A and B are shown apart, each in its own frame.
Chain A
Amino acid sequence: MTPPLIKLNQVSKKYLNQTALTNITFQLTKSGIYGVIGPNGSGKTTLLKIMAGLLRSSKGTVEIMEKPVTRLSSQHIAFLSEADSLYSFQTVNQMVDFCHNVMPDFSKDKALNMIQSLNIEKDKKIKHLSKGNRARVKIVLTLSRQVPVLLMDEPLSGLDPLVREDILRMIVMNVDVEEQILVLSTHEVSEVEPFLDHVIFMKNGTCLLEKSVEQLREEKGQSVVEAMREVLS
C-alpha cells in the first residue's frame, strides 16, 4: 500500500475564544480530486491552511509525505487562497517570471500557454485586471506548479459562471489525477460534483464523512448533494 500523502491525526484548532476544528482524523492516500464540502464557517479554510502548514494545529498532528507539516512543506504543496493574494504591482508577465524564478517546480511554459488560451493581457498589471481575470491568473499560477499536493480554498466562490467554467476546465486539463492530490473546498456542491473523486463533509469544525463519490452513488444511489443533506442536517 502506498503511504498516505496527507495524514491528519486528531487535529484540533482553537483561536482565542473559538474552536475552528475539533478532532479531525483522516488520511488521503490516493491521488485525485477531493472536495471539502460544508457550509460557511464549518472550518474548511482553517482545515486547508493547516494542511498547507500555514496554520499550526492546537492539538494533533498533520503530516505531508510522512513529515510533520510546516511552512516549508510548501515545496510539496501549492496553496490557492480565496483572497486576492497576488502582488498587485506586478504585471502578469512579471508575476510569471517571479514564480518561475522563485519556485523550482514551476512550469513557465504551462503558465504562459494557459494565459494565452485565456486571452489575458500579459503586460497589464495585476491590479488593473478584472476580478475574473485575477482569479484566472491565480489558478494558472497554482496549476503550473508540479507538486504532489494542490490545495484550493473556494476556487469558485464569488465568480461569475464563465470564470467558474474556465477554472474547472483548467483544473481538469492540468491536474494530473493519477499523480497529484487536489483538495478543493467549496460550498457550491452541484457545480463541482462531476469533478470529484472523493468528498469530505465538514460541519461545525468536524469532519463527518470521507468517501469516494462514485461509491456513494453505487452503494447508496446518492448524489453528493443528497449525501450532504443527509450528513449535514
Chain B
Amino acid sequence: MWLALVKKEWQESTFRFLVCLALLTIVYVFIYTMMATATPLVVFIGVVVVLLHVFYLFLTLLASLIKEWKEHTSHLWMNLPVPGWKLLSAKVAIGFSQFMILIIYGMVAVDIMLQKLINLSFAGSGIDYTESLNIGLNLYRELSPWIVLMISQGALQLGLAALFIFVFSKVIRPFGWLIAIIITFAANHLLSAVKNTEGYQTITQWVPLLDGQQVHEKVAIHLLQPVEAELNEQIIQTIYLGQVVAEVLFILVVFWMITWLFDQKAEL
C-alpha cells in the first residue's frame, strides 16, 4: 500500500527533480570551468549551493501539496482509505530520497572542485597553498558524512515545517499558513532554549560520535586565522548519539501531530 503511494509521488515529482538536477549540473559545470579565473569566490558559491540543499525538501513538499490541491487530485487523495501518516510519509520519503541524491551529488561536485583547486595551485604562481588544501580536502572527506547529517537534519526539520504550514492552512482558513509560520518560529525558539538547558544536555550527551574539539583543532591549526578559529569553536561541537536520538524522536512526535491534524481537522 505504502509503496504504491511512494510510486505515485515519484511519478508526480520526477520532472521537478530532474529540473533541479539539471540546474545544479549547470551550476557545478559553470563553477568548474570558471575556477581558473575567479577561484575563491566561485568555490565559495559551490559550498553555498550545497548548503542551499537544506531547502529542497521544504520546497518540493510544498510544491507537491499545492499541486495536489490546485489540480483537484486532493479530492481523490484525501478520500483514500489510508491513514494520514502513510499519505504524508510517502511524500516525505520521495522528497528526502531526492534530497539525498542531490546532496551526495553536490558533495561529490565540491570534492572534484577541491581536487581541481589543488591542481590549479600547483600550476599557479605565487604562494603554494597545496599543503593546506590537501589537508582541507582530507578533512572535507573525513567530515562529509557529518556535513550530510547536519544538512539532512535541517532539511527534515524544514520539511516538517512545510507539512505543518500546509496542513494548518487547510485547518484554519484563511491565514492558517500565517499562524502556522508564527507557531513554527515560536516553537523553534522554544526548542533552542530547551536545548541550551543543562537538563537537556545531560540527558542527551551520551556516546560521543564526533569529537568537536579534535575537529576544531585540525581546522584551526591548518586553515584559519585566530579570530575565525574562535568563531569556529562555537560552530563545531561534539555530536552525541543521544542528540541524534533526541532529534529523531522530536521529528517523529511532530510528524505524528501533523498527521493527526491532517486526519481529524484538515479540510479539502
Contacts and interface: CB of A to CB of B under 8 A. Distances in A.
- The answer to whether A and B touch in the complex, with CB atoms under 8 Å apart, is yes
B218 interface: no
A56 B267 contact: yes
B79 A77 contact: yes
A85 B76 contact: yes
Contacts of B83: 72
B11 A102 contact: no
A49 B79 CA distance: 10
A102 B1 contact: yes
A71 B73 contact: no
Contacts of B174: 16
Nearest to B264: A70
Contacts of B80: 74, 102-103
Contacts of B74: 85
B262 interface: yes
B72 interface: yes
A185 to B, nearest CB: 14
Given A16-B174, A101-B4, A81 B263 contact: no
Contact of A79 (B1, B5, B75, B264): B75
B79 A101 contact: no
Say what secondary structure dominates the interface of chain A: loop
Contacts of B8: 87, 90, 98
Interface residues of B, number: 30
A83 B72 contact: yes
B71 interface: yes
Nearest to A54: B268
Interface string A66-93: 0000111011011101011111111000
A176 interface: no
B222 interface: no
28 contacts: A16-B174, A52-B79, A54-B75, A54-B268, A55-B267, A56-B267, A70-B263, A71-B78, A71-B266, A72-B263, A74-B82, A75-B81, A77-B79, A78-B79, A79-B75, A81-B76, A83-B75, A84-B72, A85-B72, A85-B75, A87-B73, A87-B76, A98-B4, A101-B3, A102-B5, A103-B80, A104-B81, A105-B81
